Amino acid sequence: MKQVPLRVDKVLSQKIGISQVLLKKAAKLTLVFEQRNKSRITSTLSDGRTVHLFLPRGNTMRHNDILIADNGELICVVAAEQEVVSIYSDDALSLMKASYHLGNRHIPVQVGANFLRIEPDSVLEEMLHQLGLECVCEKKEFSPEVGAYGGGHRHSHTETFDTDYALAQEVYHSHSQAQQHQHGHGHDHTHENLHSHDQ
C-alpha cells in the first residue's frame, strides 16, 4: 500500500528539551541552507518517506530543530554539508572588519570562534582577499546567524510584503488620526519637507 506523505506545520527550537530517546527514534530531514530557509517545501526523510512542509513564513530551520508531523511524529532537522567559502583567521579585528563589510551586503554569514562562512560568491571573495583574508572553498554545514529579525533574513521581503505594507498603513493612519485629534488639523506635509537634507 502506498504511504501517505507526512504533513508538517510546526517547528520547535533546538533549545526545547526533548528526550534523547525520542530524538534517536526520530526520522531525519537533511537540508541545505536554502531549503531550510523555505516555509513550503517537499522533501524525503532518512527512512525514504515523503514529507510536505507548511511552516510559518519568516523562520529558518536550524540544525537539530524538531518538526512535528500531523500524526504527532517527531522529525529532526539536519543541516547538510554544502559548498561554502570559509574565512579563517586568528586576527579578530580582521574578521570583525570582514563581518562589517559582509553585513552591509545583507547576505547570510555564519560566525565562528575564528572563522566566517558564506555561500560561494566570486565578488565577495575578491573583496575579502583585498582585506588580506584567505578564502577556503570546502563542503561544510552552513548555519548562518538568523539576525535581529528572528528568521534567515535576506535582503528580500516579497513573501511578507503584503502583511508589512498593511501594518505600515495601519500605523500611519492611526498616527494621522491621533495628530488630527491632538491639533485639530491634519499633517499633510510634502515628501520634501519630511526628508530635507539640505540644512
- Say how many C-beta atoms besides its own lie within 10 A of residue 9's C-beta: 14
Q: What is the mean pLDDT of residues 92-120?
A: 95
Q: How many domains does the chain have?
A: 3
Position 55 scores a pLDDT of: 92
Lowest-pLDDT choice from 18-27, 38-47, 81-90: 18-27
131 lies in the same domain as 104: yes
119-176 per-position pLDDT tens digit: 999 999 999 999 999 999 999 999 998 754 444 433 333 343 344 334 444 444 444 4
Mean pLDDT, the chain, rounded, equals: 78
Q: Do 94 and 131 meet the contact criterion of CB atoms below 8 Å apart? A: yes
Cα–Cα nearest to 130, from 107, 101, 104, 103: 101
pLDDT at 4: 82
Q: What local confidence, expressed as pLDDT, does residue 110 receive? A: 96
- The average pLDDT across 78-95 equals 95
Q: Are residues 171 and 120 in the same domain?
A: no
CATH classification at residue 105? 3.30.70.790
- Specify whether 69 is located in the same domain as 30: yes
Strands (E), the chain: 6-12, 27-31, 40-44, 50-54, 66-69, 74-79, 81-88, 110-111, 115-118, 135-141
Which is nearest to 67 in space by CA: 20, 37, 28, 38? 28
Instruction: Give the CATH number for residue 13.
Output: 2.60.260.20
Residue 39 belongs to domain spanning: 6-79
Q: Could you tell me if 73 and 13 lie in one domain?
A: yes
What DSSP designation does 132 have? T
Given pLDDT bands bounded at 50, 70 and 90, which one contains residue 180?
low
Residue 88 sits in the same domain as residue 74: no
Closest CA to 38 of 144, 151, 164, 163: 151
pTM over cut 0.85: no
- Per-residue model confidence (pLDDT) at position 193: 43
Kindly report, residue by residue over 39-86, the tens digit of the pLDDT.
999 999 999 999 999 998 888 899 989 999 999 899 999 999 999 999
Q: Which three cell numbers stand for residue 100?
A: 562589517
